Structure 1
Amino acid sequence: MAEYGYFLSCEEFGPADLVEQARMAEQAGFQSLWISDHYHPWNDAQGQSPFVWSVIGALSEAVSLPIETAVTCPTVRMHPAVVAQAAATSAVMTQGRFRLGVGTGEALNEHILGDAWPPLHIRLEMLEEAIQVMRNLFTGDEVNHHGPHYTVENARLYTVPDEPVPIDISGFGPQATSLAARVGDGFVTMMPEEPMVEQFRKGGGGGKPVSGGTKVCYGQDRSEAVRTVHRLWSNQLLPGEMGQVLPSPRHFEQLEPLITEEMISENTVCGDDVDEHVAALSAFAEAGFDRVYVNQIGPDQRAFFDFYRTKVLPQLQQGSR
């Protein structure tokens, strides 16, 4: 039976709005929260990017739902020893209801300190070493580490949860999926593709949780919802590796003419057709996902949560029994 959660977008909303959305999500019947971890939004129209660890602190007091970053890059902008401290504290504050989702990141967020942006195979090496460093620190023991990418000397986390923070690994292709299967506590991806789930499970993932997410735009006027998605989130339809290698929001804005409203309409659930919303989320459950997260694009958040509370979540929960 799949669990349905809400995906908080740090690129589009400030801290107070995110906390209020989390409260509405819990009241609507969502079972858990994802929250994005960015330094920049994808474009200026999205307009926000609060520090995720501060927001998680507020969320820990505002709601009782499990929380996961989707996803943190613990390799370039922040050293894994620092991410480990942030994650451990988050787990303590949520009484063990925190999972750390990690991935290889995007130049958009990670090159800001002037570091070179490595090719994928190097980023995967860095991620695997970072996970090793963080797991060692989660023990609460003193850690000394001298690896090809990271050095840690006399580091010890004094505030740690009773159980190590689970680390789920994000993957969009076979290499990252293989890494997730080999060393992750779970797998995160954004497409309901059964072959990737099978690769994860057969490659060593076994019965570990697989989580996926999607974006929708609920609204009574479908055309207006399409325009809202086109204005705010055209970037999600850019092909290939552009999402990983472009260095600033203005570069994503320069590519927006490539994405038409027709493409948005064909690839994003827009409007108030209950069956469309149910089908989009059910596709993940049918592909073998354990947790499915949905994000509402645009300002009409309260109406979205009312719609999901009364019409969408009851159907999803009935269908998963």
Structure 2
Amino acid sequence: MVQIGYTMMTEQAGPRDLVDHVVGAERAGFDFSVTSDHYFPWLDTQGHAPYAWSVLGAAAQATERIPLMTYVTCPTTRYHPVVVAQKAATVQQLSEGRFRLGLGSGENLNEHVVGGGWPPAPVRLEKLEEAVEIIRDLLSGAELDRRGRYFEARGARLWDLPDVPPPIGVAVSGETSCALAGRLADLVIATEPKRELIEAFDRHGGAGKPRVGQVPLCYDTDRDAAIARAHDQFRWFGSSWKVNSELPGTAGFAGATQFVRPEDVARSIPCGDDVEAFVDAVRPYVDAGFDEVALIQVGGDQQAPFLAWAEKTLLPALRDAL
């Protein structure tokens, strides 16, 4: 049976609200949770970007059962990989083994703030591979004194290691990233329900490992209000990842999506309260071979009604159908 997760979307809610939301998700019966790790929202109308790792620490203490996961952290620019390893080890301890570390090559939107330019995609993947190796070594208890092509780790070690290292996931979008994930990751992450990604991951050593997807939706008893909210805050979602990874700020995303219409968004994001439409949005991930799917409810101030509806209606429907 597919596992259904809840997304703490840091771009659309403040830190205290995010913790309240994941507590509500645990109460509603979600199987796991994920959190984005952003320095900027995608659009100004989303309006938030708190520090995800502080939120995770608070969430670890406020919840008891629900697994936590970054979806995803870029360990190459805004953060150095030795610091990511330290953060991951700490959250794994605070959560008593409920944490998974999701990693990706990042977006200019979040990484440009530290300067140094934004490298082309092949270089970003090379940096990610080196970072994953450093993080995995440190989480295994190794002491590192190495100089790689992109990163140095001088006498680095983790003094507070969890009993079990957090599993590492890698986000994929093509053959090269799937090969990296198959070799080095414990699970694969994707935001598109493409079977070819899963097949490539399996081909490179990922067979039998978890596959985690994510899908946005916009619940509201007023479908027109849901469509308007999805268009206002999530019209960027339909852009290709080649575009989303390159734009440096909210103004760029506003410009790139200025001609996206509400009806365009409604075709790609289920809006309203027709539960079958929501099930149909998750089904392609299951058909493509994903065994975990995290849901994003659009609208930071709309989480409470969504969670109440999910507990009573959506989660039972998904479990019956999938």
Cα deviation, residue 48, structure 1: 0.5
Aligned position for 2:96: 95
Q: Distance in 1 between matches of 2:241 and 2:198?
A: 21
Aligned position for 2:234: 233
Q: Distance in 2 between matches of 1:16 and 1:162?
A: 29
Q: Distance in 1 between matches of 2:284 and 2:30?
A: 18
> Quick check: 2:133–2:184 contact (8 Å CA) kept in 1?
no
Cα deviation, residue 140, structure 1: 2.5
Q: Distance in 2 between matches of 1:153 and 1:173?
A: 33
Q: Distance in 2 between matches of 1:237 and 1:292?
A: 18
> Quick check: 2:213–2:294 contact (8 Å CA) kept in 1?
yes
CA-atom RMSD, angstroms? 1.2
Q: Distance in 2 between matches of 1:261 and 1:304?
A: 21
Q: Distance in 1 between matches of 2:240 and 2:88?
A: 32
SS at 1:241 equivalent: helix
Pick aligned residue for 1:311 from 289, 305, 313 = 313
Aligned-residue sequence identity (percent) comes to: 40
Moved more, 257-266 or 28-37: 257-266
Aligned position for 1:39: 39
Aligned position for 2:262: 261
Cα deviation, residue 282, structure 1: 2.7
What whole-Å deviation, never above 9, does each CA across 1:265-306 have from its counterpart, x for those lacking one? 111110000111112123222221111100110122221112
Aligned position for 2:74: 73
Moved more, 118-127 or 163-172: 163-172
Instruction: Quickly say closer, same or farther: Cα 1:239–1:288, change in 2 above 3 A.
Output: closer
Aligned position for 1:82: 83
Letter in 1 for 2:106: G
Q: Distance in 1 between matches of 2:143 and 2:192?
A: 39
What whole-Å deviation, never above 9, does each CA across 1:72-128 have from its counterpart, x for those lacking one? 000011100011100110001111110000000001111211112111111111000
Give unmatched runs, 5+ long, in structure 2.
none
Aligned position for 2:121: 120
Q: Distance in 1 between matches of 2:98 and 2:181?
A: 21
> Quick check: 2:168–2:185 contact (8 Å CA) kept in 1?
yes
Letter in 2 for 1:81: V
Q: Distance in 2 between matches of 1:294 and 1:242?
A: 23
Q: Distance in 1 between matches of 2:307 and 2:177?
A: 33
What whole-Å deviation, never above 9, does each CA across 1:177-213 have from its counterpart, x for those lacking one? 2211121111000112222112211221010000000
Give unmatched runs, 5+ long, in structure 1.
none
- After TM superposition, what 4+ stretches of structure 1 lie above 2 angstroms from structure 2? none
Letter in 2 for 1:45: T
Aligned position for 1:208: 209
> Quick check: 1:284–1:292 contact (8 Å CA) kept in 2?
yes
1:129 aligns with 2:130: yes
Letter in 2 for 1:58: A
Q: Distance in 2 between matches of 1:78 and 1:171?
A: 20
Q: Distance in 2 between matches of 1:71 and 1:214?
A: 14
Count matched residues.
320
> Quick check: 1:238–1:259 contact (8 Å CA) kept in 2?
no
What is the TM-score of this pair, normalised by structure 2? 0.97
1:300 aligns with 2:296: no
